[in-house]
Amino acid sequence: MNNTFQLDGEEIPFTPGQTIMQAATAHGSYIPHLCWHPDFSVHGSCKLCTVKVNGRFGSSCTMEAQPGMEVENRTAELDDKRRTLLQMLFVEGNHFCPSCEKSGDCKLQATAYELKMMSPHFDMFYPDRPVDASHPDILLDFNRCIMCGLCVAASREADGKNIFAMGGRGLLGRRVHVSSESGKLADTDFAATDRAASICPVGVILSKRRGFVVPIGRRTYDLAPISAQVTEKAP
Amino acid sequence: MSDTDMIDAVLDRHHHDGTRLMQILRETQEQLGWLSPATLTHIAKAIAWPRAQVEGTADFYSFFHTRPLGRYRVLWSDNITDRMLGNTDLLEAMCKKLWLEPGRVSEDGLVSVDVTSCTGMCDQGPAVLVNCRAITRMTPARVGEMVGLIRSETPLAEWPAEWFAVDDNIRRKDILLAHDLVPGQALAAALERGAEKMLAEIKAARLRGRGGAGFATGLKWEACRSAAGHGAGAAHYVVCNADEGEPGTFKDRVLLTSYAGLVFEGMSIAGLVVGAKKGLLYLRGEYRYLLEPLESALAVRRDAKLLGKNILGTDFEFDIEIHLGAGAYICGEESALIESLEGKPGRPRIRPPFPVTHGYLDQPTTVNNVETLAASCLIAAHGSDWYAQHGTEKSTGSKILSVSGDCERPGIYEYPYGVAVRQVLEDCGASDCQAVQISGPSGMCAAEAEFDRKIAFEDIPTAGAFMVFDETRDMFEVARNFAHFFAHESCGFCTPCRVGTTLVRNLMDKIARNHGSPYDIDELFKLHRLMQGASHCGLGNTACNPIFDTLNKFRPAYEHRLMSLDYEPAFDLDAALSQARQMTGRDDAAAHLKNGAEA
Amino acid sequence: MNAPMSPPKKLRVATTSLAGCFGCHMSFLDIDERILKLLELIEFDRSPLTDIKHCGPCDLGIIEGGLCNAENVHVLREFRRNCKIILALGACAINGGLPAQRNHLDLRDVLEEVYQTEHLLGRGGIPNDPELPLPLNKVHPIHEVVKVDYFLPGCPPSADAIWKLLTDLLAGRTPTLGHGLLHYD
Ligand SMILES: Cc1cc2nc3c(=O)[nH]c(=O)nc-3n(C[C@H](O)[C@H](O)[C@H](O)COP(=O)(O)O)c2cc1C
Ligand code: SF4
Ligand code: SF4
Ligand code: SF4
Ligand code: FES
């Protein structure tokens, strides 16, 4: 059999060793995802990329493509599940988009638009999460963290610095640790030019003094939905 | 010795090796009481790890304290069986006597009291851990005495020895517990056969894993054996999974207490088959008290030439090291266990690759349950034909059950596979049984109509837990206890389980407060469907099993509690005005709200 | 055979602003001349746009704002009892919005800070007039207290989004918002 599989009935070519996500992305097909980034090793935590392969659920960012696979992606069943996962991410943190600098450029928000999430559905948790403004150039607002691990990967794999690590357990404990005894970013050698400074898909890691350089209405996902920007160069 | 000298001594003992971080943190904490920010910085430097990673490990595990929790840290085992034995009242009484709120440290920094997941003493509860030392059979009198000992700051070593007594309570023996092997007999037989024939015997005996998943042991060993090691540290490893975290399970504790030689011998046989020189036993932190006896048992075996180089005069070399966990159920999952063995948070890995090709230190590793390894000795000594005569066609051999709950004789029962649930109930003296939770919260809840079903891989598979509930028990409360367990133990890695287990817990609490409606039951089903398919590992996939089972089999237990057919808020509206009432001193009619439909 | 077309019965709509800023209502009015077309299809019951004090039986209830005090809860429940469909309009009704930023503080501290600190409203003490609604310990979005049928996020939702949603609802279509209409900010 040749190296193709079916994604919602469309034929997708792949090279052996590629994941379903990699192959679909290369082909320009959108599979919702938050924690996957083409430049970094897979994390597999958000589960937005859940697909059904030959009738079984799996994460398309970790599953290798196989010839002849029949992959369901944007079915009502899967998008329903994804919407619920998004709602979970919204209620476990504090997301007030009107006062978030990331609004319009945020992957969580754009994915929620794509999946027509109209409300958080669940009761809000309103957790107490820290904000760290200690660094001269960078603000950390963990109220919006979705635990995707991309900052950890970028700092380790691209910057060679290991400024961040995921720690803690469970809903209350899980968090991103900053590598200093004070826990403050200012006490690390983090720089605004680090790859990790621009990797966060949501509004946690933000450059200071850059607020509203691009006006609302002209930002990344104002221009086109996230599903129409699959092949755009990721930040 | 200063604190830093002390930490350095620990670090030296572990060769400043970051993969040994769990042991470094535990030993440090055993001496200093907690892991301060400065301690973590010091350790991170010494092992040359990013500090955030050290902190990430330290705050993942329940038994590592990154803030001071008192010189006496009392943790009440909070399994449903402890609940049924009255732990809630005892904990409350203890807190009252100590003027403490659960989870808080006393102002003088002396003591804290809290709950923890099942400590594996279900047949002799209510149980507590004091500074990670197991104490069984708590009573009101013991609570009083304990409070006195804490107040007078009496060292644990001077507390009454009988408090620390842990009984085996073996009630029924079958081929494993009644074995007549002498130390070395099984291993000698295996060596005589050689690795390949030994593997063939295991396969022919159709041995399957006792840890829950029931994977064919022969296939696992074969896959590990044929996988090549990688790089400079190329090696094969045997890991014995003694995490035994599934609430209601305590048979591995008994095996490690009274059959440790058999377990070590099984590990050695596995080592012979897969080509490993090193075995690691991952012992749950709750069983800390077993560490010294197990170390001595290892020493005895080394002296007897059953471990080390030239075992029994052959050129087979194998030794075993014990690693302690630190209070995290997820570390029973084999890839999370391996992460923990490497000094990291117990986060299940992405699979494939599986441990048999990329396990401990990325090398081929077989992870097996304590009981599986012990059973392999019987096959080595008596052969596969003999072994396969016991049990059923698809489930050969025997299974050890940990029986607890509403019965006259809780304890350890070993049966050939194929025993009916009803038979076990009869043997343990369970009358008026309403339901049995088999294989723990992640297993299944069997109701009366299913009591003729059999314990076997082809019918009701189990890791061993067998919790009995009589007619007086409220199966909703049982399920709610399990929902709390999963919310506490979710590792937090993936969205569906991290958030879902807490949503499920909150919904169960809402129903318990009589604020539920049919809407909430639909929500529970919806979360079950999502978590079962989308979660990263078995914990999230099975976390809703007890809810699903009890909703199907004991639905009225939920329905009794529903407040109305209409949607209801999860919180008490009137209580939501309490702070304003307090601040304004008002108590007029308009200063109150009612839940339920308004007149 | 179809029944002869009688002039369609107008749908009755009630609106209210709970813990909101009336921004969503303003955005509603921004539908401009389209409101005339809308008024051919609907009539208003209780609303800031009318003088009706209590909500009667309605087809649609539109709620702006979350729940900040006891009065908000009473009004919300009155709407839920009387309206066949409840629409949560705007960020505050949906996730608490700006007022919910106080949820990280203890209400007692807030009251103390505001009413008992000299340079603020100090002198009078915390008002305890039974006419005044008591604040809730925490701010809640409305779906935490009653069942909500439709949601339209935005701070505020745009006039176009409101128009699209209402025309869908009035026509009996399940509302859908395409790219650019669904916004959380
Ligand atoms: C959440 C979770 C917890 C587990 N806990 C244990 C455990 O405590 N002990 C155990 O032997 N296996 C446990 N397992 C199963 C292991 O992953 C693994 O399958 C087992 O140790 C393999 O040994 P076996 O083949 O001998 O059964 C657990 C699995 C999951 C998903
Ligand atoms: S991170 Fe994204 S979803 Fe969260 S508040 Fe900011 S824009 Fe909204
Ligand atoms: S800070 Fe941003 S990049 Fe890092 S884990 Fe959180 S959401 Fe992901
Ligand atoms: S299912 Fe639960 S325990 Fe397993 S990886 Fe996900 S969060 Fe962790
Ligand atoms: S993109 Fe696959 S799990 Fe996040």
Domain assignment present for A24: yes
B308: β partners? B318
pLDDT bucket at B599, cuts 50 / 70 / 90? very low
pLDDT bucket at A235, cuts 50 / 70 / 90? low
Residues in chain C: 185
Domain assignment present for B394: no
Domain of B249, CATH number, reads: 3.40.50.11540
Domain assignment present for B498: yes
Q: Does residue A173 share a domain with residue A131?
A: yes
Q: Does residue A152 share a domain with residue A113?
A: yes
Cα–Cα distance list, B498 to A56, A94, B327, B540, C91 (Å)? 22, 16, 18, 8, 25
Domain assignment present for B589: no
Contacting partners of chain C (3+ CB pairs under 8 A): A, B
Q: Does residue A161 share a domain with residue A126?
A: yes
| Domains of chain C as residue ranges with CATH | 11-103+136-171 (3.40.50.700)
Domain assignment present for B159: yes
| Residue B556, preceding peptide bond in cis (omega within 30° of 0) | no
Nearest to B577 among C70, C140, C146 (CB): C70
Domain boundary among the residues B415, B443, B471 is at: B471
Contact, B407 vs B429, CB < 8 A?
A: yes
B583–C146: do the CB atoms touch at under 8 Å? no
Domain assignment present for A184: yes
- What does DSSP assign to residue C70? H
pLDDT, position B565: 79
Return the HEC string of chain A.
CCCEEEECCEEEECCCCCEHHHHHHHCCCCCCCCCCCCCCCCCCCCCCCEEEECCEEEECCCCECCCCCEEECCCHHHHHHHHHHHHHHHHHCCCCHHHCCCCCCCHHHHHHHHCCCCCCCCCCCCCCCCEECCCCCEEEEHHHCCCCCHHHHHHHHHCCCCCEEEECCHHHHCEEEECCCCCCHHHCCCCCCCHHHCCCCCCCEEECCCCCCCCCCCCHHHHCCHHHCCCCCCC
Q: Does residue B251 share a domain with residue B183?
A: yes
pLDDT, position C113: 84
Geometric angle at alpha carbon B211, from B209 and B214, rounded to 5° = 40
Q: Does residue A129 share a domain with residue A36?
A: no
Domain assignment present for B121: yes
Question: Which residue's CA is minimally distant from atom 6 of ligand 1?
Answer: B332
pLDDT tens sequence across B385-394: 999 999 999 9
Q: At how many degrees (to 10) do helices B3-13 and B21-32 cross?
A: 150
Domain assignment present for A172: yes
- Residue tagged 């993936």 (tokens): B494
Geometric angle at alpha carbon B450, from B446 and B451, rounded to 5° = 90
Geometric angle at alpha carbon A169, from A165 and A170, rounded to 5° = 125
Contact, B104 vs B110, CB < 8 A?
A: no
Q: What is the mean pLDDT of residues B290-315?
A: 98
- Residue B599's Cβ-count burial label (10 Å; 0-12, 13-18, 19+) is exposed
Q: Does residue B260 share a domain with residue B383?
A: yes
Residues in chain B: 599
Contacting partners of chain B (3+ CB pairs under 8 A): A, C
Q: What is the mean pLDDT of residues B41-69?
A: 97
B579–C127: do the CB atoms touch at under 8 Å? no
**Tokens describing residue B6:** 């002390």
Residue with more model confidence, C3 or B409: B409
pLDDT, position C114: 83
> B257 is in which domain, residue-wise?
171-388
d(CA A219, CA A49): 24
Cα–Cα distance list, B91 to B98, B114, B141, B143, B151 (Å)? 11, 8, 12, 8, 16
pLDDT bucket at B567, cuts 50 / 70 / 90? confident
Q: Does residue B34 share a domain with residue B147?
A: no
A103 touches ligand 2 (CB under 6 Å): yes
Q: Does residue A111 share a domain with residue A11?
A: no
pLDDT tens sequence across A182-223: 999 999 999 999 999 999 999 999 999 877 788 888 999 999
Q: Does residue A48 share a domain with residue A136?
A: no
Q: Does residue B24 share a domain with residue B9?
A: yes
Nearest to A46 among B53, B328, B495 (CB): B495
Q: Does residue B435 share a domain with residue B520?
A: no
Residues of chain C found within 8 Å of residue B579, distances taken between Cβ atoms: 106-108, 111, 137
pTM above 0.80, yes or no: yes
d(CA A9, CA A15): 19
Q: Does residue B307 share a domain with residue B195?
A: yes
Ligand nearest to the CA of A200: 3
Contact, B497 vs B535, CB < 8 A?
A: yes
Q: Which of B126, B86, B94 is nearest to B113 (CA)?
A: B94
CA–centroid distance, C151 to ligand 2, in Å, is 18
Q: Which of B183, B196, B181, B180 is nearest to B312 (CA)?
A: B183
Q: Does residue A207 share a domain with residue A131?
A: yes
Q: Does residue B250 share a domain with residue B279?
A: yes
**Tokens describing residue A101:** 């600098």
Domain assignment present for B225: yes
Q: Does A222 touch chain C (CB under 8 A)?
A: yes
Residue B596, pLDDT above cutoff 80 = no
Residues of chain C found within 8 Å of residue B571, distances taken between Cβ atoms: 144
pLDDT bucket at A7, cuts 50 / 70 / 90? very high
> A63 is in which domain, residue-wise?
4-74
Q: Does residue B218 share a domain with residue B183?
A: yes
B211 touches ligand 1 (CB under 6 Å): yes
Give how many domains chain B has, as a whole number: 5
The rounded mean pLDDT for chain B is 97
Q: Point out the ligand 1 atom lying closest to the alpha carbon of residue B489.
A: 1
Cβ–Cβ contacts within 10 Å for residue B228, how many? 9
Domain assignment present for A90: no
d(CA B198, CA B227): 18
Geometric angle at alpha carbon B483, from B478 and B488, rounded to 5° = 130
Q: Does residue B548 share a domain with residue B493?
A: yes
Give the minimum alpha-carbon distance from B599 to chain C in angstroms, rounded to a whole number.
10
Domain assignment present for A137: yes
Q: Does residue A102 share a domain with residue A49?
A: no
pLDDT, position B301: 98
Contact, B330 vs B491, CB < 8 A?
A: yes
Domain assignment present for A233: no
Residues with pLDDT less than 50, chain C: 1
Q: Does residue B283 share a domain with residue B209?
A: yes
Q: Does residue B264 share a domain with residue B237?
A: yes
Domain assignment present for A82: no
d(CA C97, CA A134): 27
Q: Does residue A124 share a domain with residue A162?
A: yes
Residue B24, pLDDT above cutoff 90 = yes
A109–C143: do the CB atoms touch at under 8 Å? no
Contact, C134 vs C67, CB < 8 A?
A: no
Q: Does residue B15 share a domain with residue B154?
A: no
> For chain B, what is the radius of gyration of the CA atoms?
25
Q: Where are the alpha helices (DSSP H) in C17-157?
A: 23-29, 34-41, 70-82, 91-95, 107-116
**Can you say how many angstroms the Cα of residue B489 is from the centroid of all Cα atoms in its chain?**
10
DSSP letter for each residue of B420-451 = BHHHHHHHHT--SEEEEEESSTTSEEEEGGGT
A173–B60: do the CB atoms touch at under 8 Å? yes
Residues of chain C found within 8 Å of residue A211, distances taken between Cβ atoms: none
A126–C103: do the CB atoms touch at under 8 Å? yes
Domain of B131, CATH number, reads: 3.40.30.10
DSSP letter for each residue of B96-160 = HHHT--TTPBPTTS-EEEEEES--S-GGG-S-EEETTEEE----HHHHHHHHHHHHTT--GGGS-
**Percentage of residues of chain B with pLDDT beyond 90:** 97
Q: Does residue A219 share a domain with residue A121?
A: yes
pLDDT, position A231: 79
pLDDT, position C122: 59
Contact, B101 vs B112, CB < 8 A?
A: no
Domain of B444, CATH number, reads: 3.10.20.600
Ligand nearest to the CA of B488: 4
Contact, C122 vs C111, CB < 8 A?
A: no
d(CA B439, CA B249): 8
pLDDT tens sequence across B165-203: 999 999 999 999 999 999 999 999 999 999 999 999 999
Domain of A151, CATH number, reads: 3.30.70.20
Give how many domains chain A has, as a whole number: 2
A120–C141: do the CB atoms touch at under 8 Å? yes
A204 touches ligand 5 (CB under 6 Å): no
Q: What is the mean pLDDT of residues B454-482?
A: 98
Q: Does residue A44 share a domain with residue A103?
A: no
- Side-chain half-sphere CA neighbours of A52 within 13 A: 17
Contact, B542 vs B442, CB < 8 A?
A: yes
Domain assignment present for B568: no
Q: Which residue of C has its CA nearest to A102?
A: C185
Ligand nearest to the CA of A57: 5
Return the HEC string of B3-19.
HHHHHHHHHHHCCCCHH
Domain of B501, CATH number, reads: 1.20.1440.230
B345–A166: do the CB atoms touch at under 8 Å? yes
Domain assignment present for A182: yes
Residue B474, pLDDT above cutoff 80 = yes
Domain of A14, CATH number, reads: 3.10.20.740
- Residue B522's Cβ-count burial label (10 Å; 0-12, 13-18, 19+) is exposed
Q: Which residues contact B211 (CB under 8 A, 6 or more apart)?
A: B241, B332, B368, B369, B371, B372, B463
Q: What is the mean pLDDT of residues B290-317?
A: 98
Q: Does residue A213 share a domain with residue A105?
A: yes
pLDDT tens sequence across B342-369: 999 999 999 999 999 999 999 999 999 9
Segment 113-132 of chain C within 8 Å of chain A by CB: none
pLDDT, position C1: 46
Domain assignment present for B576: no
